[in-house]
Amino acid sequence: MTPGYKLSTINFMNKSPYLLLLVFTLLFTSCTNAQEPSEIVDSEDQPERVDGLELKVLSYNVHHCNPASKPGLIDVDGIAKVIIDSKADVVGLQEIDVNNERSGKHLDQAKELARLTGMEFYFSKGIDYKGGAFGTAILSKYPISQMETLYLPEETGTERRTLSIITVEFPEGKKIRFGNTHLDYTSDDNALAQAKAITSYFENEALPVVLVGDFNVEANSKTMAHLDKTYNRTCAQGCPNTFPVVKPSKAIDFILYSSGFGIQTLFHEVIQEHYASDHLPVLAKLRFEH
């Protein structure tokens, strides 16, 4: 704007006070219309907020706390660190030694892992082993009850396998049943028989079920096809490989949950931890809607 133009405008405004008032009125109205407040939406029209319990679940074959790269070494602290770093709420562990000669007559790995992680625990013995026991364990940040061990069918000459079961109780009284297993590796037929025993056990269960473990079969097996009829996998869109720990070539470790209870998978992750065991740990986050 040139000085001459400004001067002429000021002179014009001075000579026309009513016109000046009209100009300011029009400018004010224009600005007001340009900044209309946002429309208020009735609360009944807004999407309903979905509340619910969120639970982080870990499944981990710990190879009796023996790092695959260090034969003979027992590193319970290494496994505990994986669990703590995962921030899991409930954990299913497979291949746990308790007071045996391989890992130490005075070392109860289930109890020690519970102490190191500050969690409650339940151990299920699969077999007697070297003067002690060998089996699976469950750890939980929440109170547990109704601990049970179900012995699974076995073919002659194979190792006895189990399903360990607990009830986990969350704040406000919500409960789930949590199962942890380690199926037979010798044949899909034997693993299938064991899977059928598991689904039969939970057939009339009124609470939601979360089932984890080393199933020793791959995603396209008869065993997993049977389990898929009752449970949803957290890796439904493809299951990343979990074994062996170096250059894993197959997925045999899974986390499953009951269908029909409004449970959702928020994420599924195979943790890239290559030291502590011969398997990679599997972590998933679930939402249980109220």
pLDDT (tens digit per residue) in 173-203: 899 999 999 999 999 999 999 999 999 999 9
Assign a CATH topology to domain 52-289.
Deoxyribonuclease I; Chain A (3.60.10)
Give the pair of three-digit tokens for residue 223.
Answer: 């065993």
List the chain domain ranges.
3-36, 52-289
**Per-residue confidence (pLDDT) for residue 187, from 0 to 100:** 93
pLDDT-based confidence at 290, cuts 50/70/90?
low
| Cα distances (angstroms) measured from residue 171 to each of 54, 176, 245 | 12, 12, 36
215-236 average pLDDT score:
96
CA dist., res. 255 & res. 257, Å (int): 7
**Residue 61 backbone phi and psi in degrees, to 5:** -85, 115
pLDDT category at 168 given cuts 50, 70, 90 is: very high
Residues 151-165 pLDDT 10s: 999 999 999 999 999
Confidence (pLDDT) at 238: 85
3-state secondary structure the chain: CCHHHHHHHHHHHHHCHHHHHHHHHHHHHHHHHHCCCCCCCCHHHCCCCCCEEEEEEEEEECHHHCCCCCCCCCCHHHHHHHHHHHCCCEEEEEEEEEEECCCEEEEEHHHHHHHHHCCEEEEEEEEEECCEEEEEEEEECCCEEEEEEEECCCCCCCCCCEEEEEEEECHHHCEEEEEEEECCCCCHHHHHHHHHHHHHHCCCCCCCEEEEEECCCCCCCHHHHHHHCCEEECCCCCCCCCECCCCCCECCEEEEEECCCCEEEEEEEECCCCCCCCCCCEEEEEEEEC
Q: Where does the pLDDT of residue 110 fall: very low under 50, low under 70, confident under 90, or very high at 90 and above?
A: very high
CA angle 179, 158, 243 (to 5 degrees): 60
CB atoms within 10 A of CB 75: 16
Give the residue with greater pLDDT, 14 vs 198.
198
Question: Is 96's pLDDT higher than 90?
Answer: yes
pLDDT tens-digit profile of 15-72? 444 444 444 444 444 444 443 333 333 333 333 333 579 999 999 999 999 999 999 9
CB-based contact 164:201 (threshold 8 Å) = no
